[in-house]
């Protein structure tokens, strides 16, 4: 009797695009994919930070290339990706948060958050999928959502709305592109120690509220998401599409 073999978590020979790569979860995702063997293109608005990350990764023997890009500019994003070979893997970690009570949220803040978290996510994911479909290649597309794509929270009506929308978008795209072998998923982290979370975690009352919700009793670290990214990108997740991998320390279980 032949024993089953665990599918490989390696990503050798694959091209990955990480948006929002200059800091936080995106930076960790880029390193994780490169450690697994992928050649990673680092995309973000900050050319200086991308250049530093590219140099640091290359000095560690990892394949990395910087691509300064504002994914909120859908036309520029489409053109930049069309000029390159297709990407086998996408991790979209670009995101924006402007937390405020719903009654005090301005139209400007609403539009800014929706433009990055939803509109840009849609057109970036579509652009990568178009490249794969044209080349007749399968792929794994991962959007960084949030536990707030599954629950709500104070001062987060707009942020939660965009993340719930990304969850729905992901399911629909997964259905559409499954015949082409393109998998589309999200990861949904809890509060991770990143610059984006500082606004909330700097407030002692909000920090206490966060910790009271996380059943494991601690904040997340960027390392907590790295294995999940590699899993979803790899052949080990070949039957996983249209779903959300919660990395929330048990927040949504309660």
Phi (first) and psi of residue 248, to 5 degrees? -120, 10
Does residue 2 sit within a domain?
A: no
Does residue 1 sit within a domain?
A: no
The Cα 88–Cα 184 span in angstroms is 12
Q: What is the pLDDT of residue 254?
A: 86
Does residue 98 sit within a domain?
A: yes
Does residue 72 sit within a domain?
A: yes
Q: What is the pLDDT of residue 199?
A: 78
Overall domain count for the chain: 1
Q: What is the pLDDT of residue 78?
A: 96
Does residue 27 sit within a domain?
A: yes
Phi (first) and psi of residue 210, to 5 degrees? -60, -50
Does residue 7 sit within a domain?
A: no
Q: Bridge partners of 144? A: 187
Torsion of CA 73, 129, 31, 227, to 10 degrees: 130
Torsion of CA 58, 62, 67, 69, to 10 degrees: -120
Say which of 24, 127, 159, 224 is annotated catalytic. 159
Does residue 242 sit within a domain?
A: yes
Kind of pairing between the strands at 182-189 and 64-68: unpaired
Q: Give the CATH number, domain containing residue 123.
A: 3.40.50.720
pLDDT string in tens for the chain (254-residue length): 799 999 999 999 999 999 999 999 999 999 999 999 999 999 999 999 999 999 999 999 999 999 999 999 999 999 999 999 999 999 999 999 999 999 999 999 999 999 999 999 999 999 999 999 999 999 999 999 999 999 999 999 999 999 999 999 999 999 999 999 999 999 999 999 988 788 788 889 999 999 999 999 999 999 999 999 999 999 999 999 999 999 999 999 98
Residue-number span of the structural domain to which 77 is assigned:
15-249
Does residue 5 sit within a domain?
A: no
Q: What is the pLDDT of residue 51?
A: 97
Decide if 34 is catalytic. no
């Amino acid at each position: 009797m032949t024993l089953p073999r665990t599918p490989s978590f390696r990503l050798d020979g694959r091209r990955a695009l990480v948006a929002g790569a200059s800091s936080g979860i995106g930076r960790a995702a880029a390193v994780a994919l490169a450690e697994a063997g992928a050649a990673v293109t680092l995309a973000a608005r900050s050319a200086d930070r991308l250049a530093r990350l590219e140099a640091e990764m290359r000095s560690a023997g990892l394949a990395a290339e910087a691509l300064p890009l504002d994914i909120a500019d859908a036309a520029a994003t489409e053109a930049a990706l069309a000029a390159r070979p297709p990407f086998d893997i996408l991790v979209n970690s670009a995101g924006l948060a402007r937390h405020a009570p719903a009654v005090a949220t301005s139209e400007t803040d609403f539009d800014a958050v929706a433009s990055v978290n939803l509109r840009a996510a849609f057109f970036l994911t579509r652009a990568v999928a178009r490249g794969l479909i044209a080349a007749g290649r399968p792929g794994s597309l991962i959007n960084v959502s949030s536990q707030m794509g599954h629950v709500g929270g104070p001062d987060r009506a707009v942020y939660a709305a965009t993340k719930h929308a990304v969850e729905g978008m992901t399911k629909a795209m997964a259905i559409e592109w499954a015949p082409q072998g393109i998998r589309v998923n999200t990861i949904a982290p809890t509060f991770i120690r990143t610059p984006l979370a500082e606004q909330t975690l700097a407030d002692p009352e909000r920090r206490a509220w966060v910790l009271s919700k996380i059943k494991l009793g601690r904040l997340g670290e960027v390392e907590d998401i790295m294995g999940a990214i590699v899993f979803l990108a790899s052949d080990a997740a070949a039957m996983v599409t249209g779903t959300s991998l919660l990395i929330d320390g048990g927040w949504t279980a309660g």
